[in-house]
Structure 1
């Protein structure tokens, strides 16, 4: 365990996070950048005294539970989480839950596909990156709270304020079935992840269809090659659907493209101009 390096690393990560980033008021007379020690300790569910000793290089080796709390509280990336464990002399095991950090090259690719609607989903079905055309075709994800960006929740519980279940897509039943199968496999890969467990419990309690599909224990997900969106502005948009696995992050890149020269290609071109400015109906 490298106590001095660990102390410096924790301090540097704490000082880069603003109170607003974690839902805390800035308050008056804040003399330190980022979070206070007591705030970081509170978010990590450890005592302020112990956290202070960590930053002073005087604490004993933290447990894996403490390291997990610190990684969560300080919003560490996957690479930072691994580094934290190595500094503490406790090489990390498998990640406790699905990654939400999108590789920069994937973000660049998503935004370099102007003629395609492209987005990235986490293992649990949360849309974690998207381009402008995906927002115009489906929904302005930036205007939604994080929990409402989950496509599995949308498929079974339909919190859609516009009254279009799953964006008016033609394969709702097939998508729901595939979502249940995918989530069953995800729950097996991340048995200790509280968010995945909470999502399963929420869907079981709110959807008889999900409960029926969940009880089948199926985990094989057939590919979807084509689907049609009933868009309120441009009408039906039929797209080819390609899904690329980002294996090391357990994520998927979804790309929707229209047949060249088709009315759907013209509809996507119109949406790329209109964007999300006239999405209300």
Structure 2
């Protein structure tokens, strides 16, 4: 087992409890309306304890970072009571020390079939990122669309650092979606930090981006670890002009890697621009 992160677990449970509305739980599980005024958001501690089938005092100690390591059965009950997603259940198990921390050996190498897929995507810009959000491989189309990764220092081949370096000069979000990339990055680094709690680089990235982006800082505080698979982005390219693209993220099975692809609506000007911009072949980091 891994070490228990009592403070992180306490904060996660509290924020999930406060985010859960009374109308999201079974009828009768919370106090009837009007019986007792709600001075805090979400459910009360005693309501979560009742839903999870545990004593109020034990749940209170969990939120106060004073409880011993919870068992898998307790975590499963809390997952049901707090309506946690699969990603959140995995995250809380890591915070509770029920899952051994990852090591550098777990990161492994980039699978050859993933590199082959990059080559075969042709004009579709795509790259592979690891748990630190480092770009570890890319195809020519991605280099033409985003930046020439090969010319960047290794530490700057990172989607978080690139968003700081390039910022609005490269990409913006459509109206109503501002901050989505920052929140997605916060979720991904939260999950990575729980898996690799001693990774100094992840901590540096978190501090760097939190100082740069209020949206990232808010997402980090919220402990949001739910994956975001698609983001709409507006890109300004120096050669082909403005593009409206969907940025899709797919997990590479059996690894910490994610495949990030940029696609456009078929028949759109952006799709035609990608075709002009992209070239077959690939480039490795």
TM-score, scaled relative to structure 1:
0.56
CA contact (8 A) 1:115 1:257 kept: no
1:114-169 Cα distance to aligned partner (Å, 9 max, x none): 121111111121111110111111111111012211112333xx123xxx537224
RMSD: 2.5
Aligned partners of 1:116, 1:226: CA distance in 2, in Å? 16
Structure 1 residues 175, 229: closer, same or farther in 2, change over 3 A?
same
Aligned partners of 1:185, 1:143: CA distance in 2, in Å? 29
CA contact (8 A) 1:96 1:192 kept: no
Aligned partners of 2:137, 2:169: CA distance in 1, in Å? 18
1:120 paired residue among 128, 134, 138:
128
Aligned partners of 1:260, 1:206: CA distance in 2, in Å? 35
Aligned partners of 2:246, 2:214: CA distance in 1, in Å? 30
Aligned partners of 1:170, 1:214: CA distance in 2, in Å? 19
CA contact (8 A) 1:125 1:152 kept: yes
Aligned partners of 1:166, 1:176: CA distance in 2, in Å? 16
Residues 122-201 of structure 1: pairs in structure 2 closer than 5 A: 122-155=130-163, 158-160=164-166, 164-165=167-168, 167-170=170-173, 173-201=179-207
Residues 243-262 of structure 1: pairs in structure 2 closer than 5 A: 243-262=249-268
Structure 1 residues 112, 148: closer, same or farther in 2, change over 3 A?
same
Cα drift, residue 207 of structure 1:
4.6
2:103 paired residue among 77, 90, 96:
96
TM-score, scaled relative to structure 2:
0.55
Structure 1 residues 188, 166: closer, same or farther in 2, change over 3 A?
farther
Cα drift, residue 225 of structure 1:
4.9
Q: Unpaired runs of 5+ in structure 1? A: 1-92, 276-281
Q: Could you tell which deviates more after superposition, 242-251 or 120-129? A: 242-251
Aligned partners of 1:125, 1:166: CA distance in 2, in Å? 20
Structure 1 residues 236, 100: closer, same or farther in 2, change over 3 A?
farther
Cα drift, residue 239 of structure 1:
2.6
- Tell me how many residue pairs correspond in the alignment: 177
Structure 1 residues 159, 269: closer, same or farther in 2, change over 3 A?
same
Which residue number in structure 1 is paired with residue 53 of structure 2?
none
1:230 paired residue among 217, 226, 236:
236
Structure 1 residues 214, 113: closer, same or farther in 2, change over 3 A?
same
Cα drift, residue 107 of structure 1:
0.5
Aligned: 1:264 with 2:267: no
Cα drift, residue 213 of structure 1:
2.6
Q: Helix, strand or coil: the match of 2:254? A: helix
Cα drift, residue 103 of structure 1:
0.8
Q: Unpaired runs of 5+ in structure 2? A: 1-99
2:116 paired residue among 102, 108, 114:
108
Q: Larger relative CO (CA 8 A, sep 6+): 1 or 2?
A: 2
Which residue number in structure 1 is paired with residue 208 of structure 2?
202
